[in-house]
Amino acid sequence: MIERKAFYIGGEWVLPSAGDITEVRDPATGELVGVTPRGSADDVDSAVAAARGAFESWAATPPRDRIAVLDRVRDGLRERNDELADLISSEMGAPQAFSRVAHARMAVSNFDFAARAMEEILDEGEETIGSTLVVREPVGVVGAITPWNFPLHQISAKVAPAIAAGCTVVLKPSEVAPLSAYVLAEIFAEAGLPAGVFNLVGGAGRVVGERIVTHPDVDMISFTGSTEAGVRIAELAAPSLKKLTLELGGKSANVLLDDADLAVAVPAALKQCFANTGQACAALSRLLVPRTLLAEVERVAAEAALTWTVGYQSDPSTKLGPVASLDQQKSILGYIDSGISEGARLVTGGSTPPIDTGAFVSATVFSDVTGDMTIAREEIFGPVLSIMPYDTEDEAVRIANAVPYGLSGGVWSGDRDRAVAFARHLRTGQVVINGQPLNLRAPFGGYGRSGVGREYGRYGLDEYFEIKSLQGAGE
């Protein structure tokens, strides 16, 4: 059992102002994995003061020196890859094999790509527009508030570009999965990051998170989580007009065109929905198929779903570990029951837990799902796929765009140009063509209720700059 007693503030491990703790439990067994301190507004104030005090010096640090620190952190993360992967698996349920190749490695990539994006900006030099010199300056103190579903990846996707840009950071990780954040703090210390540039305070969103958002010395908030929580953050940040990046919910459509190779596309579509046990904001949870191919798609989907073995995180054969908590399991099973009661046809799976104890959910596929059903409109955040038939491509576009979200999407076709042409009609921040792997250097973010701003690579780095025009400093 891991016991963390202090927060990382101003380059030191500092005891919290109160003695409350958060218990972190394995969602498969209920076993106590670790405890972390629960912070207060006073702890946030200390962390913000440290970040504010370090900002001027860090912003003035030569960018290539900042890049060197990021590269050392990247290497530190790589060295502790398996440790971090196992830690994440134990706190939020991802199979260990998936944690090693996804959760931990994506954090390594985020630090690498942020450093390379900063090098790209330096190589380009400052822009001149006539008599004006355009310069970038770091935003200031960044409050980063992160979720439990990809805990270390989401932390690194915010912290790495913020530090590369010259900002300082106060991080609040999810209470469900906070442990990897403490390891990252250790790696920062070992990499020689100056005191106060990165600060860690854990605790409840209504206490620690809201104090970060409303603090007068925090200049920007970067948040990933539910749309409801994002709206709350936007309301709290409005009086001080803080800069915001909000990566929120999704209900993304995956469209099979009539020339798609079903033997390839359908199993891949299940992976695009079920990866991380369906706990991904970008999960492609609606599968739109030509009505003439519906029966064949159902057959292939039912066969493919059988390969999504439910089990414990340490079992190499497990593809679906437990969801993050019993509360999350209850929510997902409720959605499955609503799908049945509202008239969707269950192809496989269902609301009976596949393992009697723990937060397990079977790979579940519905068909004949219509746009007015709850499972077609709301984010389930679990391994539940809704197959929705269409008659024409125009109808498929309308179905895909008929939700208030716009985070991701997918298109499958035997003709890549045809798929790209269709993708241009989807109102979403990302469209995956024929199952292309995630590119962490490309921009990621949403339309509508899926959020504001972009993350990853050069576009993600740009969010952490203010742009200044120096009139008369140009040619």
Known catalytic residues are 247, 281
Residues in the chain: 475
The backbone region for 50, taken as left when phi is positive above 0, alpha when psi lies in -120 to 50, beta otherwise, is alpha
d(CA 273, CA 270): 5
Q: Any idea which residue has 């860090």 for tokens? A: 58
Pairing of strands 12-14, 132-138: unpaired
* Burial (CB count within 10 angstroms: exposed 0-12, middle 13-18, buried 19+), residue 164: buried
Which of 246, 314, 310 has the alpha carbon at shortest distance from 278?
310
Pairing of strands 405-406, 409-412: unpaired
d(CA 149, CA 331): 15
Do residues 25 and 93 touch, judged by C-beta distance below 8 A?
Answer: no
Q: Identify how many contiguous H helices and E strands the chain contains and give both numbers.
A: 16, 23
Do residues 44 and 201 touch, judged by C-beta distance below 8 A?
Answer: yes
Helix axes 81-92, 63-79, angle to 10 degrees: 70
Strand partners, 310: 320
d(CA 21, CA 157): 27
- Output the DSSP codes for 379-412: ---SSEEEEEEESSHHHHHHHHT-SSEES-EEEE
Q: Which residues contact 281 (CB under 8 A, 6 or more apart)?
A: 149, 224, 247, 248, 249, 250, 379, 407, 408, 450
Q: Any idea which residue has 């269709």 for tokens? A: 422
d(CA 142, CA 222): 7
Which of 172, 148, 151, 229 has the alpha carbon at shortest distance from 51?
172
